[in-house]
Amino acid sequence: MNVKEKETSTAEHRDNSLQSGASTPMSRFMVLLFATACGMAVANIYFAHPLLDALSYEFKIDHSTIGIIITITQVCYALGLLLLVPLGDLLNQRRLIIGQMLLSVAALVVIGLAQSSTVLFIGMAMVGMLATVTQTLVAYASTLSSPEDRGSTVGFVTSGVVIGILLARVFAGILTDIGGWRLVYLTSAALMLFIVGLLYKKLPNSKRKQTSMSYPKLLLSVLLLIIQERILLVRGILGMLIFVSFSILWTSLVLPLSSTSHSLLHSAIGAFGLAGVAGALAATRAGRLADQGLGQRTTGISLALLLASWFLISFIDHSLFVLIVGIILLDLAVQAVHVTNQSMIFTVRPEARSRLTAAYMIFYSIGSATGSIASTNIYAIFGWNGVCLLGASVSAFALLFWALMSYLTSE
């Protein structure tokens, strides 16, 4: 980042402080509460992944079409990003967060008690749309934190999202073995209700002024922000590419590990998510580096690590230890870029942080869906080597795109 960019960033941080009303750092408890709430909310849409066999048997849905459950939750999550997250700039964010999480509790109970596939699908759709409360929480954490700590706060809260995604499969697998798939959703409903109680007691009201524009104009402004804010477009594209790479790994990893060459149990396969958690936690400092004006450098190093990780991941048939190291590197790199992206985006338009988050996460949603679809198709045709080549190619393209944008910005 050149001197002019640093001066601009510093001035923007001062403006943010004035407009957000934040003057002191968030307490460690509050940051942890935000991260926990994010992780639990987003985990709800990933519980179904290891439960598809059980759901197929319970509701007499053919294996060839049971994947519709995943599609429903992801499509509704994308709709929630566009329709619900921008409301954080229009409504009281505290009430919006608590309201969405209470509705999530109700949706989880609907799933846990469902007696027909129709009710199941309705519950999954509700869970998918309401899980976008995670992005409202991230934007609200940014508003409540002081400018000097905004990046590190966003980094830690965002780590809760990634950890929730990675641990959802482990949580679902263990509870299903104990008491069946319904126990997964009913337990999550109880835990979510407990978190809602804590948020109701501890969540402060922000002094930030809400926008006065109408809801239709609010939604339109999300798309306009992508056009108007160059940093949002650039960082959105980078976010899309890194989550294509992330989804390529985590969607297809179960296939070689469960094949005859490894024949690992589902619980053992799910444990690989713990390696991803280690990587995600290691990347929480990326936000602090962005606060120090090192966002561009952090991005370049992280993208290089992302590319290198695929070389290690390709050794799956030779060493599971090397695979684990590769997974840690990949998740570290993805999380570091993701945190840096959000930290840099939040330096512009403090009055539109919820809409900025919604716009950025639309890129994320596109990337995740693309990676999931591409990886399974590539594996079916070219095997694991084809998956690794695809992941490395996407990562290399992301690195080249960053280098080109950095060069154009420096001129």
Q: What is the CATH number of the domain that holds 306?
A: 1.20.1250.20
Query: Over 70: is that where the pLDDT of 15 sits?
Result: no
Burial of 205 (C-beta count, 10 Å sphere; 0-12/13-18/19+): exposed
Residue 211 lies in a domain: yes
Predicted local confidence at residue 266, as pLDDT: 60
Report whether 371 contacts 243 (CB < 8 A).
Answer: yes
Residue 149 lies in a domain: yes
Residue 137 lies in a domain: yes
Residue 5 lies in a domain: no
The amino acid that residue 173 corresponds to is G
User: Cβ atoms within 10 A of the Cβ of 207, count?
Assistant: 12
Which one of 5-14, 176-185, 373-382 scores highest in mean pLDDT? 176-185
Residue 1 lies in a domain: no
Distances (CA, A) of 150 to 118, 139, 323, 347, 361: 43, 10, 34, 9, 19
Confidence of residue 386 (pLDDT cuts 50, 70, 90): very high
Distances (CA, A) of 298 to 88, 263, 373, 378: 29, 38, 29, 31
Predicted local confidence at residue 108, as pLDDT: 97
The pTM for the full model equals: 0.78
Query: Over 60: is that where the pLDDT of 363 sits?
Result: yes
The better pLDDT of the pair 322, 260 is held by 322
Query: Over 70: is that where the pLDDT of 4 sits?
Result: no
Confidence of residue 314 (pLDDT cuts 50, 70, 90): very high
3-state helix, strand, coil in the chain (%, to 5): 80, 0, 20
**Structural domain total, the chain:** 1
Residue 387 lies in a domain: yes
Lowest-confidence pick of 25-39, 41-55, 104-118:
41-55
Q: What percent of the chain has pLDDT over 70?
A: 89
pLDDT tens per residue across span 143-184: 888 777 777 788 788 888 878 887 887 888 788 888 889 999
**Gap between the Cα atoms of 371 and 244, Å rounded:** 4
* Per-position b or e across 254-263, b if 16+ CB within 10 A of its CB: bbbbeeeeee
Residue 2 lies in a domain: no
Report whether 165 contacts 279 (CB < 8 A).
Answer: no
Query: Over 90: is that where the pLDDT of 352 sits?
Result: no
Owning domain of residue 395: 13-410
Average pLDDT, integer, range 370-396: 90
User: Cβ atoms within 10 A of the Cβ of 119, count?
Assistant: 14
Predicted local confidence at residue 388, as pLDDT: 96
Lowest-confidence pick of 18-22, 55-59, 155-159, 371-375:
18-22
The better pLDDT of the pair 254, 140 is held by 140
Predicted local confidence at residue 18, as pLDDT: 37
Provide the 8-state DSSP code for 197: H
Residue 123 lies in a domain: yes
**Gap between the Cα atoms of 74 and 129, Å rounded:** 8
Confidence of residue 209 (pLDDT cuts 50, 70, 90): low
Average confidence score pLDDT of the chain: 84
pLDDT tens per residue across span 79-132: 998 899 889 888 888 999 999 999 999 999 999 999 999 999 999 999 999 999
User: Cβ atoms within 10 A of the Cβ of 177, count?
Assistant: 11
Q: What percent of the chain has pLDDT over 90?
A: 36
Long-range pairs for 219-228 at CB < 8 Å and ≥24 separation?
Answer: 219/82, 219/83, 219/86, 221/86, 221/352, 221/355, 222/82, 222/86, 222/355, 222/358, 222/359, 222/362, 223/359, 225/349, 225/352, 225/355, 225/356, 225/359, 226/359
